[in-house]
Amino acid sequence: MKNKILDKFIENLKKAGGEILDEIPENWYKTRALLGVAENGAVWVDEYKKKLFLSENVAIILDKNSIVEDMTKAMDYINSPGVFISGPSKTADVESFLVYGAHGPIRVGIYLI
């Protein structure tokens, strides 16, 4: 069951343009997520910092055991402001072409522990 949720999380993270990191590159901005959501590949980050949005590359550390099935279940654990992030910032405003790196990071990687 746990593995199925993890697989789904990774699949949906990739659909959202995100990646799984084997190691954290040195010059990337690092933060940690408290929660992952399998149905959409989003992670919940409560350290709401400028660099999370200004950096070109962001690495987010996530505990494999902190992934829940969907947003409704995620809400059971959320009790403060913060942000759900699903992949890199993106836009399709130029003639419907999907481009990663609109205003925020161009690459977002999840480092699973």
What is the Cα–Cα distance from 43 to 112, expressed in whole angstroms? 12
Nearer of residues 24 and 99 to other proteins, judged by Cβ: 99
Answer for which of 53, 57, 61, 69 binds other proteins (CB under 8 A) is 53
Pick the closer one to other proteins by CB: 65 or 91. Answer: 91
Q: In what order do the strands lie in the sheet with 107-112?
A: 19-20, 107-112, 57-62, 29-32
d(CA 98, CA 89): 11
Q: Does the footprint of other proteins cover residue 94 (CB under 8 A)?
A: yes
Residue ranges that bind other proteins, judged by CB under 8 A: 12, 15-16, 37, 39-42, 48-50, 52-54, 70-75, 78, 80-97, 99, 101-105
